[in-house]
Structure 1
Amino acid sequence: MLLEDQIEMYRRQIATDSYPMSIGELANLYRDGEIDIHPEFQRIFRWRDGQKSRLVESVLLGIPLPSIFVAQNDKGIWDVVDGVQRLSTIFQFMGILRGEEGELFDPLICIDAPFLTHLDGCSYDAVEGAEKSLTPTQRLDFKRARVDMKIIKRESDNRAKYDLFQRLNSFGSVATEQELRNCLLVSMSKPHFEWLTAVSSDRNFLEVLDMPQRLLDERYHMELALRFTLLHSIPEPRLSSIRNIGEFLTEQLVNFADLSPRRLEEEMSVFTRTFEILAESGGADLLRRWNYAKSRPEGYFSLTAFEVLALGIAYNLPGRKSNFSDIGGKQRVLWSNPQFSAGRATGVRGDQRMKRTIPFGRQLFSS
């Protein structure tokens, strides 16, 4: 295929439009529920009041903002692809930003900005805690400021939308890859995001992981739930094709978002049963390294143990008539194996480790 043919083919997969809109028009769309900035993202962003105040300053000074990209969904609603924090800041300043439960955020009260030092203590409307507010004329100027909107139309190919989402994402300060995946997933399919949120909040799952709050805040437990779902029944030859586990998880979000409700029910059943078994058989200690010298588990959560024990149980669940027994014994078998010894299990890339752990776990629980 010639380059020109490829260009034409992929151009047809993405239908776009572009036009400027006033902040007032965008605010009305937001109030009417016709533009979705996904309040699920709010806890991810790290913009401080100083950054927000500089954005407000830019609008007041007429400094052009970067284009905002939105994708039109099947209902015609605009999902914000790039520009979530900019719109969130504008709407918070105007006092209309809402959270996940529909609650209003406290209106933004600016601090001093590089040029407009008198912006310090200023709000859009008069609100409690603000020293001053914009004048009626300044509010009109703010609402009439225009933003360039790039619209990815609903007839665009889903995979093309997904790829564009990744390329355009700027999101401010996303802390972890899984937080970015969550943003991608909720924009592709909110029900699938809610499913992943639900399974990763399973009581037995969290008990077995025994994660510090920092990792929970960074949504590492959601990454592990996604790993579990995508890997527990993956054909072994496919493991060889995984070059980077992070990229694999992100790429597979498109396929995950296409899973049917029935398939999600089946996956939920496997997930909850697996971690129920682990919780009843030893809990968090099972996913720690076994110290033979001290004859006890020690340390923190181990991905090696997760891939061998959790994925091994899940793979062997279908058609299993008897309960899994002596999982503690299988934990000791794992750590007595030379290929998983302390010197060989650490510092190994995830894709290389999984080529050993996943087949080993499946065999370990096969009888």
Structure 2
Amino acid sequence: MSLESELELYRQRITTDSYPMSISEIANLYRDGEMDIHPEFQRIFRWSGAQRTKLIESVLLGIPLPSIFVAQNEDGVWDVVDGVQRMSTIFQFMGVLRNDEGVLVEPFVCEAAPFLTSLEGVSYEPFEGASKSLTRAQQLDFKRSRIDVKIIKRESDNRAKYDLFQRLNSYGSIATPQELRNCLLVSLSRTHFDWLQNLAGSEDFKQVLNLPGRLIREQYHIELALRFITLRMLPEEKISSIGNIGEFLSAEVLSLVEKGDSEMRAEEEAFSATFKILNESLGGDAMRKLNPVTGRTEGAFSSSAFEVLALGLGHFAPSGTSAADVVQARETLWNDPAFAPGHATGQRADQRMKRTIPYGRRLFAV
């Protein structure tokens, strides 16, 4: 295929528009529910007070801001793809920002800025937490400042939106790759995001994983739920070509949002059956290594245990596997010299999974 042919093909996949809008117009869209900046993201992408103050200073000085990118969803609402923190800062300064429960967030009060040192303690409108506020004329100047809005129209396909999200992501420091995937998933389908979160929040699943609070805060349990869904039925020949597991999971978000109701119910049934039997048989020790000498579990969460036991059992779920079968499978796993302590030390996830996932399927094969 020639370059011109490829250009023509991929230009058809994404339809865009662009025009400048005043901050007042954008704020009205947000108030009316016609723009979604996803309050879920605000817990992930946080600017310091100095960063937020610098943005407000730039608006007041008339310094052009970078374009924001929005994707038009099926309802015509604009999902902010790039510019979440900028818009959150502006809306909070104006006193119109709401959290994920729909409650107004306390307005932002500026700190001393690089040029406008008198901004310290200034709010948009008078309120108790500020020492002073913008004048009426300054408020109007602020509201009339314009921002260029790039719009990815709803006829663009999800893969194009995914590519754009990956390329344009400039929200700042991201704690974990899964948090970025969560943001991507919310942008593509809130329904599928909520569904994945509900799976990851199930009691059996949390009991079996037995993860420390830090990993829960970093959304690792959601990543493991996504791994289960994407890997449990993956053909063995494809397991060997996964490559970087993080990139694989991010790409699989696209496949996830294409699942229909019947597929989601089937996945949920397999997920529930798998972690119910694991919890009943092994509880919080299920994903820890079993010392074959002492007969005791030790260490923290084991990826090998998850790939062998959870994915192996999940491949056949729901099935007639008993609690005794699960206990026996774990003993077989950790008594196998191939899985002696240190067997996966320094090994990339995709290299490890070439062995662990097929091994687990053989253990639970009926």
Asked if these proteins are the same fold (TM beyond 0.5), I'd say yes
**Alpha carbons 1:286, 1:328 under 8 Å: kept:** no
Which residue of structure 2 lines up, in the alignment, with residue 138 of structure 1? 138
**Alpha carbons 1:47, 1:173 under 8 Å: kept:** no
CA distance in 1, matches of 2:157, 2:198: 28
CA distance in 1, matches of 2:299, 2:46: 31
Q: What is the deviation of 1:11?
A: 1.4
Which residue of structure 2 lines up, in the alignment, with residue 225 of structure 1? 225
CA distance in 1, matches of 2:212, 2:122: 39
Q: Which amino acid aligns with 1:168?
A: L
CA distance in 1, matches of 2:233, 2:215: 26
CA distance in 1, matches of 2:13, 2:364: 45
Which residue of structure 1 lines up, in the alignment, with residue 349 of structure 2? 350
**Alpha carbons 2:14, 2:153 under 8 Å: kept:** yes
CA distance in 2, matches of 1:31, 1:152: 21
CA distance in 1, matches of 2:20, 2:91: 18
CA distance in 1, matches of 2:128, 2:305: 53
Write out aligned runs for 1:44-63 (5 A).
44-63=44-63
Q: What is the deviation of 1:332?
A: 2.3
Q: What is the deviation of 1:326?
A: 4.2
Q: What is the deviation of 1:339?
A: 2.2
Which residue of structure 1 lines up, in the alignment, with residue 193 of structure 2? 193
Aligned residues: 366
Q: Give the TM-score, by structure 1 length.
A: 0.97
**Alpha carbons 1:312, 1:365 under 8 Å: kept:** yes
Question: What CA RMSD, in Å, does the superposition of the two structures yield over aligned residues?
Answer: 1.2
My pick for the range that moved more, 332-341 or 159-168, is: 332-341
CA distance in 2, matches of 1:295, 1:157: 53
Which residue of structure 2 lines up, in the alignment, with residue 74 of structure 1? 74
My pick for the range that moved more, 329-338 or 348-357, is: 329-338
Relative to 1, partners in 2 of residues 1:162 and 1:231: Cα closer, same or farther, differing over 3 Å?
Answer: same
Q: What is the deviation of 1:173?
A: 1.6
CA distance in 2, matches of 1:158, 1:196: 18
CA distance in 2, matches of 1:133, 1:335: 66
3-state SS of paired residue (1:343): coil
- Structure 2 spans left out of the alignment, 5+ residues: none
3-state SS of paired residue (2:102): coil
CA distance in 1, matches of 2:320, 2:173: 48
Q: Which amino acid aligns with 1:12?
A: Q
- Structure 1 spans left out of the alignment, 5+ residues: none
3-state SS of paired residue (1:344): coil
Which residue of structure 2 lines up, in the alignment, with residue 331 of structure 1? 330
Q: What is the deviation of 1:343?
A: 2.7
**Alpha carbons 1:178, 1:222 under 8 Å: kept:** yes
Write out aligned runs for 1:28-43 (5 A).
28-43=28-43
Q: Which amino acid aligns with 2:125?
A: D
Which residue of structure 2 lines up, in the alignment, with residue 87 of structure 1? 87
Percent identity of equivalent pairs: 60
Q: What is the deviation of 1:328?
A: 2.8
CA distance in 1, matches of 2:328, 2:344: 19
CA distance in 1, matches of 2:215, 2:322: 32
3-state SS of paired residue (1:151): strand
Q: Deviations over 1:89-110 (max 9, x none)?
A: 1001111111111111111111
Which residue of structure 2 lines up, in the alignment, with residue 239 of structure 1? 239
Which residue of structure 1 lines up, in the alignment, with residue 310 of structure 2? 310
**Alpha carbons 2:20, 2:148 under 8 Å: kept:** yes
Write out aligned runs for 1:96-107 (5 A).
96-107=96-107
Which residue of structure 1 lines up, in the alignment, with residue 13 of structure 2? 13
Q: What is the deviation of 1:39?
A: 1.2
